[in-house]
Amino acid sequence: MSDGLTMLFGLFVLLGAVGAAAALTWFERRLLGIWQDRYGPNRLGPFGSGQVLADMLKLLTKHDWVPPFADKLVFIFAPTAIVVAMLLGFAVVPFSSSLYIIDLNIGLLFFLGMTSLAVYSVLLGGLASNNKYALLGGLRSAAQMVSYEVFMGLSLIGVVMLTGSFSMRDIVEAQRDGWYCISQFLGLCVFIVAGIAESHRLPFDLPEAEHELTAGFHTEYGGMKFAMFMLGEYLGLMLICCMIVTLFFGGWLGPILPAVVWFVIKVFVLICFFILLRAAIPRPRYDQLMSLGWKYMLPLTLINLVVTGAVALSLAEV
């Protein structure tokens, strides 16, 4: 695409991602309502769809308050960082063979870098609040995200070994003979668990669980600043689903239907899966969460790495 079309498509992806994240708040509540045999939002508009607009107006009109004991500059910057990092992550997502913002030869590393930057948002938010509950929630979030980034990165090495490239388009094209969800099943499982922990989705939302730490790192936040934290988490959910589809489920590949339609269908199914996890699985303790990563996820990624390396070497010799 030309530079003008690339900028236009980038703006479309940005606005579309933000709009989809807002709509996802309504969809999640409706789907959870169906799963739990209750109504969910059903007052404003068809099927309660007007609830999204009502929530946006409420957040926009709430008083923008900064605690007098907080570090004002960092307090304001923190929620912005997570939104920017997640939106930048969409830059390397290929929606079809010709529909993408940029095809970096280090696209996978760029994605991992953007998810790493989100750690600063929650850590600075907890630190700048000058509140013991927010600080403890921020430290827990940082430990959780940094730990699971290790397993997330290691789970993708098998994909890179089989593809021979960090380019997202190359990874999808390499799956024409078979999706990596089969040959890299261990890597897929680890990546999904790490993605849940990275995006703070249940059951791994312990740093902000109300029964432990009030609201965690965003205890002192309200109005649009709180909305930006929530927007960042929903953008993170969509980004993780896009990456799972790209890396393990053949991206845009599929018969009959247009490539973009296949990509959207796969992402939508994964989003439903992540949402229903919230209704089906209780929270573990924080020590259990960290033990799961270092005692189980790390050995699984290393086993997957060794087996994939052995298979790739044997195929190369043949």
Domain with 209, as residue range(s), is: 64-317
Element housing 46 (H / E)? none
Q: Is residue 32 part of a domain?
A: no
Q: Which of 112, 77, 78, 86 is nearest to 191 (CA)?
A: 112
Q: Is residue 147 part of a domain?
A: yes
Record the tokens describing residue 301, joined without a space. Answer: 């990624």
**Using CA atoms, how far apart are residues 117 and 122, in angstroms rounded to an integer?**
10
Q: Is residue 7 part of a domain?
A: no
Specify the pLDDT at position 241: 93
Q: Is residue 284 part of a domain?
A: yes
Is residue 180 within 8 A of residue 247, CB to CB? The reply is yes
**Using CA atoms, how far apart are residues 61 and 59, in angstroms rounded to an integer?**
6
Q: Is residue 37 part of a domain?
A: no
Mark the ranges of the chain whose per-residue pLDDT is less than 70.
1-3, 206-215, 317-318
Element housing 68 (H / E)? none
Q: Is residue 247 part of a domain?
A: yes
Q: Is residue 26 part of a domain?
A: no
Q: How many domains does the chain have?
A: 1
Q: Is residue 126 part of a domain?
A: yes
| CB-side neighbour CA atoms (13 Å) of 32 | 17
Is residue 198 within 8 A of residue 316, CB to CB? The reply is no
235, with CB counted inside 10 A (0-12, 13-18, 19+), is: buried
